[in-house]
Amino acid sequence: MTNLLTGYLEDRSTAQYFCFSISCEVCGEFWYSSSVPFSKAGQAAEHREKRELYDAVYQREKNRARLAAGREAVERFSQCPICRRLVCDSCFLICDEMDMCRECAGRLKESGEPVAP
């Protein structure tokens, strides 16, 4: 699931910090990961000669931040087993036979409670 989510993450990072977002495919609401500061943000601006080095550090920290964002997103998103879309907890219902997104639940006339009301 984390791998799946990592693929959905949109990069919102800047030169100063790393941040990623995911939008729910049912309600369209955006979720943003906790932003992680780039450890060399100050130095990178001052020491232009080390640019290549700091670029490499930046990429490495960004990859870590992406994985952390994926882990964070797992707590808030689920994949609907019917339509296979990625939906937020407000759009994902706990139903009797199988949990699913609220659009599928409506179509299949299943009822349930959202994971996060």
Contacting residues toward Zn ion, per CB under 5 A: 24, 26-27, 80, 82-83, 88, 91, 101, 104
Nearer Cβ to Zn ion, position 23 or 35?
A: 23
Residue 70 neighbours by CB distance under 10 Å: 21
Q: Which is nearer to Zn ion, 40 or 85 (CB)?
A: 85
Least spacing, CB of residue 102 vs Zn ion, in Å = 8
The whole-angstrom separation of Cα 72 and Cα 5 is 10
Which residues does 116 contact at the CB level (< 8 Å), separation at least 6? 76, 88, 89, 90
Amino acid at 69: A
- Smaller CB distance to Zn ion: residue 25 or 61? 25
* Residues 6+ positions from 108 with CB-CB distance below 8 Å: 82, 100
